[in-house]
Structure 1
Amino acid sequence: MEELFNSYFLSEGGIYRSESTQIKEIIELANIIIRRVRTQYPLLPEIYFNIIDNNTFNAKAALDVKNGNIYYIGVYAGLINILFDVFTKTNIVRELDLNEEVKLSITSTKSTLEFDHSKGFSESISNVDIIALDRYRLIFEFLIYHEICHILRGHIAFKQSKKISELQGNFKEYSDLNINFIQTLEMDADSFATSWVIGDFRRFTLKTELTENTIYKNWETFIPNFAYSIYTTIRIFGFSSLPISKIKTFTHPEPAIRISLIMSNIATILDALNVDNIDDIMSNSIHMLKRAETDVVSVTFLDDQLENVKDVYFNPEYIKYYKQVLHNWNIIRDELQSYAFGELPGKNFLTF
């Protein structure tokens, strides 16, 4: 399976062969999560997970039809490098007066982000604080669940059955709608990942007696740090007030709106679980978003863009568009079911 994965992704760099503990732990985490999802969805097909030798800030799920409909999830080495440095270096920056030579250089090329190793700085994992590593692991849990959702809920097979123009809103049967169905699938994957990450905390961690300085102590520590992890990762793509015509060409929702939707989903889940002090938890989570912005700026050459988040989030034109993107679920849900490996949520489950 390893060589098939390597062959499939060869044009993008092939398999990333490394004996580092960091890489091994991510692969082990992915396999644990895949098995965990399969206990609830036994029809989930076999999925081979590995790392792609490419500096792009990306991860993807794929269907290898040529070799017998094998599903892969590949995380790009660039994603690992960028996130490890961003999450683990902020605590160092707070304590030291660092010059620009040790900041991270993250360059955008053709809508992808690449990591410039020559401008990064490294630190032994043993010297990084526990909370930083918790956040780093937590975001990979989210990303792995996100990619599994693309397979489990039929997104990959559904997209392969359509032309890209159709997925961007030109379905003949839906010709009156100028909308992007790919973004609807991405929002579904975000919702799935958010639910599972919070569910894992509730099932496996919440009842454990924790004495170390960790984010997993209780709801009050976990949710704000989960929000921090989400914001930091999505924020790296940058926020900007682009026209709707441009946003409709993206495969993922505009980052500021995407973060807002995830935060709304978190609040809904906590309410359904009857968690105490939800208002305080969400208020602290918003505070952590501000802290995450400050931290990202401190370790990169990126400018502070927190105000752009507000501009995008409260723009009526954006809100109208994303309500329609969410409503797409009602349009494609029944057709998507034929490609899924388990029962899909009902209509109207994606809300804003």
Structure 2
Amino acid sequence: MSNQKREEQFSKVFSRYGNRIVTQDDNYLNQFRATCQETLAKYTDLDIYFDIIDNSRVNAVATKYEGSYFIAISKGTIKIFEYYARKFSANPNILSDFGPSNQENNVIKLQNSIIIKDEIYIIEEDPPVSPITKERRTLAELIFSQSILNIIFHELGHIVNGHIDFLESSKIHYLEEVQTESNKLTSILSLHRQTLEIDADAFSAIETLREMLAIFDSKEDKFKEILPNYRSVFKLWSFVRQMCWRIMENNYIGKGLLEITHPPTSLRSQYTRIANLDLVKGRGGSSLLDDFETSYTLGVSQADNAFRIISEMDTIPPVLSKELSNYHFHHGALIFCHWDFIREDLLPLASYSLRDPNIRDDQYNEILKGYKQVISRLNLQT
């Protein structure tokens, strides 16, 4: 199929979100588009077309049209991830053990440091904020590229794991990364969506960490000071993933756990960590696994703190963003059980078993009992 035909299909299928960006004279976006398409081609032979939507909201969407799959990312997503990569790297108090952070001097605070009601509230500084040292500029490059990979691989996970085909029977044709007030979900559809989001997270988590480890293994000079050891790799990787989720999570303020499309950040963080345990242990055994656990925790906490450091007000959502509580643990357990409920339809394509190794068999039986009670209240037959 010609590239022009694909562009026309893309414009038609995503018209509700905005126009496809025409980038003939924009070398940056042209290169960005080409790099993302090449990355997708490395991972699958499926017919997938990637492009950019002219929309200031932070969003990414995957769908299927006339037998082909499409992934769209909004201009707002590129803009805000690139901004935070520069802003965080230019601050001497953020990721201070990555490169010569003491030579950075940008401590200007923002009135609002993340997304409010799906709009971007960023006032670019004059001159635009930028790290001073080459090492910290490399750090900004890594934060940006990893944040974009996190989103793209997540959408790819929805495709290769069969989520889009699975949800077609529920009349859900677009898997997008934001939820608005108009997106009213039944509780069972909320469980469907959150279960699939965890699976897509797992796919993205494993593949982005592999990409980061490949950079580390390359021993390329420009990355040596930023990624000198495994701990730095794990910490930066977890920092970026937490940063992405914090930005997205504002879309769920005020909604209950069975009304949202994506699990709260506390759960996504917990089970992303779990998804990579086998990968890390296979590379370096139990000692490397210990480094991963420690570094992961540090990266997550420093990402949360980074938003506070650059903001005049604490804009991190207070309800869904708390550390993993018993309430959230129970909700995560419901997701595990729901995975079993839809396993027969998804297992041939899904990449992740959704098993928490910290849950004992006797605990799981009790959790399963509670899940059946929830499903019963929803008048669903198990």
The TM-score with structure 1 as length reference comes to 0.79
Classify the secondary structure of the residue corresponding to 1:262.
helix
User: More deviation in 50-59 or 327-336?
Assistant: 327-336
- Select 2:196's aligned residue among 175, 178, 185: 185
Counterpart residue identity of residue 332, structure 1: I
Give the direction of change, closer, same or farther, for the CA distance of 1:265–1:99 in structure 2 (3 Å limit): same
Q: Report deviation, 1:263.
A: 2.3
Residue of structure 2 in register with 1:16 after alignment: 21
In structure 1, distance between residues paired with 2:313 and 2:77: 17
Tell me the C-alpha RMSD between the 2 structures. 3.4
Equivalent residues in 2 for 1:229-244 (5 A)?
229-238=240-249
- List runs of 5+ in structure 2 lacking aligned partners: 1-5, 93-103, 173-182, 359-382
> Structure 1 residues 273, 77: closer, same or farther in 2, change over 3 A?
same
1-structure distance, mates of 2:195, 2:216:
32
Q: Does 1:153 align with 2:164?
A: no
**1:273 counterpart = 2:283:** yes
Q: Distance in 2 between matches of 1:236 and 1:343?
A: 29
Q: CA offset at residue 192 of structure 1? A: 0.7
SS of residue paired to 1:157: helix
Q: Structure 1 stretches of 5 or more lacking a match?
A: 172-178
Q: Give the secondary-structure state (helix, strand or coil) at the position aligned to 2:218.
A: coil
1:46-81 CA-partner distances (Å, limit 9, x unpaired): 1110111111111110112xxx23311000111111
Judged with a 3 Å threshold, the aligned counterparts in structure 2 of structure 1 residues 262 and 350 are, in CA distance, closer, same or farther, namely same
CA offsets, 1:121-149, max 9 Å, x none? 33479976101111210121221111111
User: 1:144 and 1:261 mapped to 2: Cα distance?
Assistant: 19
2:148 aligned residue (131, 140, 148): 140
- Secondary structure of the structure 2 residue equivalent to 1:30: helix
Listed as ranges, the matches of 1:191-270 within 5 Å are: 191-202=202-213, 204-213=214-223, 215-238=226-249, 246-270=256-280
Offset of 1:156 from its aligned partner? 0.9
1: CA distance, partners of 2:108 / 2:192: 44
State the match for 1:85 in structure 2. Answer: 83
Look up the equivalent residue of 2:150 and give its one-letter code: F
Equivalent position amino acid for 2:263 in 1:
P
Structure 2 counterpart of 1:69, from 46, 63, 67: 67
Q: Give the Cα–Cα distance (whole angstroms) in 2 for the partners of residues 5 and 316 of structure 1.
A: 43
Other-structure match for 2:350: 344
Distance in 2 of aligned mates of 1:253 and 1:139: 18
Distance 1:351 1:55, change over 3 A: farther
Number of the residue aligned with 1:291: 302
- CA distance in 1 between partners of 2:323 and 2:308 (Å): 19
Structure 1 residues 239, 316: CA separation in 2 closer, same or farther (over 3 Å shift)?
farther
Corresponding residue number in structure 2 for 1:52: 53
Judged with a 3 Å threshold, the aligned counterparts in structure 2 of structure 1 residues 302 and 140 are, in CA distance, closer, same or farther, namely: farther
Q: Secondary structure at the match of 1:274?
A: helix
Instruction: Please tell me whether the aligned partners of residues 159 and 167 of structure 1 are also in contact (alpha carbons under 8 angstroms).
Output: no
Aligned-partner Cα distance in 2 for 1:138–1:349? 26
CA distance in 1, matches of 2:252, 2:8: 43
Cα distance per residue 1:133-181 (max 9 Å; x no partner): 112101212211111111111111211211469984548xxxxxxx611
Query: Secondary structure at the residue paired with 1:188?
Result: helix
Counterpart code for 1:55: S
Q: 1:238 to 1:343 in 2, by over 3 A?
A: closer
Task: Report how far residue 258 of structure 1 moved.
Answer: 1.2
Query: Residues 306, 211 of structure 1: CA spacing in aligned structure 2 closer, same or farther, 3 A cutoff?
Result: farther
One-letter identity of the residue aligned with 2:124: G
Q: 1:36 to 1:167 in 2, by over 3 A?
A: farther
Is 1:28–2:34 an aligned residue pair? yes
CA distance in 1, matches of 2:16, 2:321: 39
SS at match of 1:61: strand
Correspondent of 1:115 among 96, 106, 120: 120
Letter in 2 for 1:270: V
Q: Structure 2-normalised TM-score?
A: 0.73
Aligned partners of 2:208, 2:9: CA distance in 1, in Å?
30
330 and 347 in structure 1: CA distance in 2 versus 1, 3 angstrom threshold: farther
Within 5 Å, which residues of 2 pair with 1:312-327? 312-313=323-324, 315-327=325-337
Amino acid at match of 2:296: S
CA contact (8 A) 1:296 1:302 kept: no
Mapped to 2, the partners of 1:59 and 1:269 lie a distance apart of: 27
Give the 3 Å change call, closer, same or farther, for CA 9–301 of structure 1 in structure 2. farther
